[in-house]
Amino acid sequence: MSRNAIEIIVDALRANGRQVIDRGGDRYSAQCPAHDDQHPSLEIKPRNDCKGAVVTCFAGCDYRDVLAAIGLQPRHLYDDAGMRAIYHDRRTYTYPDGRQVHRKPGKRFHQSGNTHGRALFHAERIGEAALVYVCEGEKDVEAIEAVGGTAVSPPQGASTPPEKFDWSPLTGLSVVVVADRDADGQGRRHAEAVVNALNGTALRIDVAEAASGKDPADHIAAGLTLRELVPITLDGVNRRKPPHAPALNNAFVTASLAEVTPERVAWLWEGRVPAGKLVTLDGDPGLGKSTLALAFAAIVATGGQWPDGTRCEHPGDVVLLSAEDGVADTIRPRADAAGADPARIHVVRGVPVDDNGALRLPTLADVEQLRQVITDTSARLVIIDVLMAYLPVTTDSHKDQDIRSVLARLSALAEETGATILLLRHLNKGKGADPLYRGGGSIGIVGAARAGMLVAPDPEDPDVRVLAWTKSNLAPAPDSLNYRLVDAPEHGCARVVWGGVSAHTARTLLAEDDAEAGNQAKDFIVDYLGQRGGEAPAADVLKAGRSASFSEQELKDARRRGTPKIDTRKASFGDGWVWALRPKVAAPPSTAPDATFDVDGSLGATFDSSPKVAQNAEGGTEKEDRKPATFEDPVCACGEPLTTPASIRYGKCYECRLSASKQSDGNDDGHPDDLLDSQ
């Protein structure tokens, strides 16, 4: 029975007196016969392509020297007949133009046939290949072909200038020139000459070397793949555009960075709102996003001062697209209340559709019309209120590809004109405090923006708004800012009054918001079950909840937390699950009549029948004659219902907290100043 390559090599090593250790799975360790090996440093293992064996000396001996030391040749590495023929020391190579090269033992060669031909070895086999390897010798070409590649080589290796041969079969193809790893550098010099000969012919030229051994044949004999060739860079190579590459009427237009003059980022609002970029402003309805946007417009239109004290360095006109507010009764009064120059704010009413003055609503597909109005007015700010109202009807706001297609053109317009384009969005009902995912529509919207802002109530004072940043690509994340919406009676609307810096971030603001969203989901479930006798199929609850804009996960999380408790059970064998309100347990008669609501920071957390004791301004204590309250209706000691989070947190209405603050007269041991943080 014939032996395979591993058996032949192992038997030869043992016959040579070398220690051989069977590692299992046709893997062996042995003393290397090519050097004085005291400890086994030779590995013999199967090739990954199952065509033979791989022999590796970890002391650095060449595999050919290892084989020669035990009387074998490179062809003995292979079980595959084709591979054995390729690595045989006798071989004849035939070129497509009739040249023949004859290989003899000792790397001796002679030629016959058309010895003046210009063809490359195996050029006729290129066929439909898109990638071709150029090697120094014919053996390398056949070795690459044996592992699935396409390769050619010029005649006579590195001894003849490559420009003497016909390289036209490589026109428009990607080429990898594989340099031999000669100690004197001749292989790299030859590869450099080949690259220069191919310049203007091949579409792309890369250069590589064997990762093991001297050439591609050695690399493959070491069990390595073509992907494991090592890329190198050559000096003295002049790259030229291939003249034969097919010309395209719509080819990419590129620019070398060397041709680009560096510029600093321009800012509409220094460090916060970049000029010539897309910027988002997110927030729930009713928080005054539109009023805030017009406050920005007033600063830009007048060259005024931003709320952090910096000056608007690039004042100019403002273009406004508003789908939610009337121009005469809402937008103009708000602009006046903000101190804007109304002559510099331009409201887009529509796009003409005929000569009779009929208008259609604009969309963000009307980029050229928007470009014209920006150019005509020299606008520095464009406000789109709200973004979703101006998406083309064919655009799905939740599909990233659709959104990016629209916003890519809008971003290019901002870059070209230098105008900041502010996109207003409502928040979605999603969970999680990651601000990037809370704006309405696809994540591609905030992905296209270079800065993003969020408006949310201050958790400590719902009358205070916080402007926080969700994204800041071009500068460090700026501090959040407080502001209030106050009445401007002379204009019949609200205006923005700025406060100071807020310690809140977009993430902390949304974490508070998510807790409230969870409470809303809980309230929905309790109401739904209460209207159905206290229980309902879980599938029905989830379906109704989804219709009410809650996610299924929000509803499931809300069921598990808080009070009242909601149990789950099987309706009957084979039926679905039911959600049911847990029956209330009656309180002991001795305590129930006197139960009062104890505010400790969470609604309905504790009931306490004892009188409440509070510290007064002098550091003493006094009993609060608190009016009894139910779980659903907490009240202040004065009888005023507690309806805001701050009032519930402190257990006092705004008037009582104001009175307590005045009594303390600034005494730090009395009531803290933040008792006044909300009505």
pLDDT in tens, 37-79: 988 999 999 998 888 999 999 999 999 999 999 999 999 999 9
Do 444 and 488 fall into the same domain? yes
| Structure-token pair, residue 358 | 């009929």
Q: Which of 250-259, 566-575, 656-665 has the highest mean pLDDT?
A: 250-259
Helical H runs in 378-476?
400-417, 443-448
Q: Is the confidence at residue 517, as pLDDT, over 60?
A: no
Q: Which of 233-237, 417-421, 616-620 has the highest mean pLDDT?
A: 417-421
- pLDDT score at 380: 97
By mean pLDDT, which of 10-14, 430-434, 613-617 is the weakest?
A: 613-617
Residues 317 and 449 both lie in one domain: yes
Tokens of 582: 């847990």
95 located within any domain: no
Mean pLDDT, the chain, rounded, equals: 84
Final residue belonging to a domain, choices 184, 205, 232: 232
pLDDT at position 675: 44
Residues 322 and 466 in one domain: yes
Whether residue 259 lies inside any domain: the answer is: no
Residue 515: pLDDT band with limits 50, 70, 90: low
Is the pLDDT confidence value at 617 over 60? no
Three-class DSSP labels, 542-603? HHHHHHCCCCHHHHHHHHHCCCCCEEEEECCCCCCEEEEECCCCCCCCCCHHHCEEECCCCC
Q: What is the mean pLDDT of residues 149-171?
A: 92
CA distance 478 to 271: 7
pLDDT over 70 at 631, yes or no: no
Question: What is the residue range of 643's domain?
Answer: 594-676
Asked whether the beta carbons of 228 and 220 are under 8 A apart, the reply is no
Q: Compute the average pLDDT of residues 475-486.
A: 94
Chosen domain end from 443, 469, 504? 504
> Which amino acid, residue 613?
V
Record the tokens describing residue 36, joined without a space.
């004085």
- Do 621 and 652 sit in the same domain of this protein? yes
Task: Quote the crossing angle between the two packed helices 400-417 and 367-377, to the nearest 10°.
Answer: 20
Last residue of a domain, one of 504, 539, 568: 504
Confidence of residue 295 (pLDDT cuts 50, 70, 90): very high
CA distance 22 to 10: 10
User: Does residue 325 belong to any structural domain of this protein?
Assistant: yes
Q: What is the pLDDT of residue 585?
A: 52
The candidate with the shortest Cα–Cα distance to 142, out of 216, 241, 79, is: 216
Distance separating alpha carbons of residues 641 and 663, to the nearest angstrom: 22
Residue at 198 is within a domain: yes
Residues 409 and 326 in one domain: yes
| Same domain assignment for residues 423 and 362 | yes
Of the two residues 460 and 273, the one the predictor is more confident about is: 273
Helix, strand, coil fractions of the chain, as percent rounded to 5: 30, 25, 45
On whether both 45 and 152 belong to a single domain, the answer is no
Q: Is the peptide bond before 457 cis (omega within 30 degrees of 0)?
A: no
> What whole-number percentage of the chain has pLDDT above 90?
57
CATH at residue 455 = 3.40.50.300
pLDDT digits (tens, 9 = 90+) for 310-328: 999 889 999 999 998 999 9
CATH of the domain at 199: 3.40.1360.10
3-state secondary structure of 384: strand
Q: What is the pLDDT of residues 422-450, one digit of tens each?
A: 999 999 876 655 788 888 888 889 999 99
pLDDT (average), residues 91-96: 95
DSSP string, 488-538: ETTTTEEEEEEEEEES--HHHHHHHHHHHHHHHHHHHHHHHHHTTTTEEEH
Residues 113-124 pLDDT 10s = 999 999 999 999
Which two three-digit tokens encode residue 593? 């009549």
Are 420 and 451 within 8 A, CB to CB? Answer: no
Number of H helices, E strands in the chain: 16, 32
Confidence of residue 595 (pLDDT cuts 50, 70, 90): very low
Q: How many domains does the chain have?
A: 5
Asked whether residue 358 falls in the same domain as residue 474, the answer is yes
599 shares a domain with 532: no
How far apart are alpha carbons 126 and 151 in whole angstroms? 8
3-state SS of 266-313 is CEEECCCEECCCEEEEEECCCCCHHHHHHHHHHHHHHCCECCCCCECC
- Domain identity same for 550 and 602: no
Specify if 587 maps to a domain: no
Cα separation, 36 vs 331, whole angstroms: 92
Q: What is the dihedral of CA 136, 139, 144, 148, to 10 degrees?
A: 140
Task: Tell me: do 61 and 147 sit in the same domain.
Answer: no
Evaluate whether residue 254 is within a structural domain: no
Q: Domain for residue 9, yes or no?
A: yes
* pTM value surpassing 0.75: no
Estimate the crossing angle of helix 506-530 against helix 538-547, to 10 degrees: 130
Among 128-132, 227-231, 274-278, 508-512, whose mean pLDDT is lowest?
508-512
Q: Which of 5-9, 19-23, 588-592 is least confident?
A: 588-592
* Residue 258 counted as domain residue: no
User: Side chain identity at 384, as an amino acid letter?
Assistant: I
Residues 356 and 283 placed together within one structural domain of the fold:
yes
pLDDT of res. 442: 86
For residue 130, give the nearest of 156, 109, 150 by alpha carbon: 150
359-406: pLDDT as tens digits: 999 999 999 999 999 999 999 999 999 999 999 988 888 888 889 889
